[in-house]
Structure formats: C-alpha cells, structure tokens
Amino acid sequence: MAAPAPPSLAVASAPPAAAEPQKVDYLNLPCPIPYEEISREALMSLKPELFEGMRFDFSKGLNQNFSLSHSVMMGPTEVPSQSSETIKIPTAHYEFGANFIDPKLMLFGRVLTDGRVNARLKCDLTDDLTLKANAQLTNEPHMSHGMFNFDYKGSDYRSQFQLGNGGLLGANYIQSVTPSLSLGGEVFWAGQHRKSGIGYAARYNTDKMVATGQVASTGMVALSYVQKISEKVSLASDFMYNYLSRDVTASVGYDYILRQCRLRGKIDSSGVVSSFLEERFNMGLNFILSAEIDHRKKDYKFGFGLTVGE
C-alpha cells in the first residue's frame, strides 16, 4: 500500500518590514548658515537688485588674483518731498573698482565720482575664525561708517562678534538642534544713540522648502517661506510686521531659472509689481532688464544694463 504523500509546506509570504525611522546623531549635526544669512533664499528671490535707467559693467582679470572693474550708471534719483508725488532728478555716476582674491584673503575697493569710497575685507585667520571688515567714506558729515566682524565656525554652530563706529557692539549665535532645525539669537548696543536690542531666530529647511522666523525687541517680526517646485522653479513669500509702529508688509514671488536666463518677480501688499531678468547672451556677456510698477503712486521704473567680463 502506497504511503500517503506528505502535505505540501505552504510558505506564507511575510509582510515587508516597515522601514525604521532613521536615528538622529545629535553629536554630529550639520553646521548652520550664518545668522545674518538666515533668510538668504527668500532675499535672493524677492529682493533682486532693482534699478532705474542704464547700467554698464565691465570687469577684466589682470592675473589669477587681481582684477579691475568699471561701472557706469545713468538714471533718475528720487529726492525727498513733502508732497505725495515722486520727485526725480537725473544723475550719472562712474565707479572704478579693484579686487584681489586669494584662497585666504579677499579685498574689494570701489571709488565713485560723487566722492564715496567703499572697501571690504575678508581674511581667514584660521580654519574656523574669519575676519570681515567693511567701510564707507563720504563727503557728507556723520555719514561715513565702518564695521568689523569676527566669525567663528564650529562643528554644529556659528558665532559672530561685531564692532562698529559710533559705539556699536553686537553678537549673535546660531545652533543646529536637529538636522533640519537651527535656533539662534543676537544682542546689540548702539552707544552713540543709547539703544540696545535683542532678537531671536529660527530656520527649518529640507530639500524642498525653507521656512524662517525672526523677532526682535525693536518691534520687528519677520517670516519667510520658500518652496522649491522643481530644480528650476521656486516660489517665495515673506511677511514683515512691526508691533510698535503697526506697519505690515507682505509679498509673494517666483524665481525661474532657465538654461540661458534667470527671471525673478514679485507683488507686495502695497500693489507694487516688480520683475528682474538676467539673460546670458554668451560667455562673459549678460543682459539685464529691471521693472517696478506702482500704479497707486503712478511711479514706474524701468532699467536695462549690460555686463561684460570674464
């Protein structure tokens, strides 16, 4: 008599194991961006360098470290007025610049025909400590100023100490608390005006978005949000409120990067619409268009420029 066949062993398919959440190594957090650049993505999208009139910029490298620049600007300049109408006078400026760039030292100087002199310095004293300085000299009394910044970069934090003319002292600190969240604060003392202040800031960023918030004892509350739609398109918004003066402003904008050009635009709560286009014609040749329209004040600003240089 034949023995009965052994029962087939049915192997039940086990459900896929749920992915375990990635553990955060709080002893190895990334270094945050500098405190003063906490909203740089929103500033890049919403506050391009708008201008009115004509600009021409030319730069030429003399060697690997040294270069010269020439800039011509022609267009109207707004002057203060007690009436609601905007008063503009025609102006023209020429600017000569010299730049020295080295891996550990950068020097920038500018001289304008109206008598202004601007200078900037960045020097890496050590791998973690950087000295930054900037100064502006003018013919107008009490309008010249200078500032020294000492920046220290840690493994997961940054700190800065500021020293300026007029008895200005300041310090800020920002710390990564998670891989995406950074918290910081700042204090300052303006000795000449006998004013002091304190502020706090937070930044949350992922691969697709950046959100920031700032509040200060001076009355300023600032919020910004940038959403990255794709590799070429970003949407941005910001909100500014002063709880002392009750002033409120808000704006929304876009940043569109193409292969040969970059287009940025925004509209704010005052109804002002602006747009800024940078078109690359060829290597070292860029064309710039700027427009800002305020229908309520009947103020229309248009500018175009050309940038030539290596």
Query: What are the pLDDT digits (tens) for 24-80?
Result: 777 889 999 999 999 999 999 999 999 999 999 999 999 999 999 999 999 998 887
Torsion of CA 147, 153, 154, 156, to 10 degrees: 100
Specify the pLDDT at position 5.
52
Rounded to an integer, the average pLDDT of 70-99 is: 86
Please say whether the beta carbons of 122 and 130 come within 8 A: yes
**pLDDT band of 200, cuts 50, 70, 90:** very high
Measured from the Cβ of residue 204, the count of other Cβ atoms closer than 10 Å reads 15
Rounded to an integer, the average pLDDT of 152-167 is: 94
In this structure, which amino acid lies at residue 118? N
Q: What is the pTM of this model?
A: 0.84
Answer yes or no: is pLDDT of 85 > 90.
no
Specify the pLDDT at position 60.
92
Specify the pLDDT at position 84.
67
Specify the pLDDT at position 194.
86
Please say whether the beta carbons of 84 and 77 come within 8 A: no
**pLDDT band of 233, cuts 50, 70, 90:** very high
Angstrom distance (rounded) from CA 248 to CA 227:
22
Task: Return the percentage of the chain with pLDDT > 70, whole number.
Answer: 92
Answer yes or no: is pLDDT of 151 > 60.
yes
Specify the pLDDT at position 270.
92
Rounded to an integer, the average pLDDT of 281-288 is: 92
Question: For the chain, what is the mean pLDDT?
Answer: 90
**pLDDT band of 3, cuts 50, 70, 90:** low
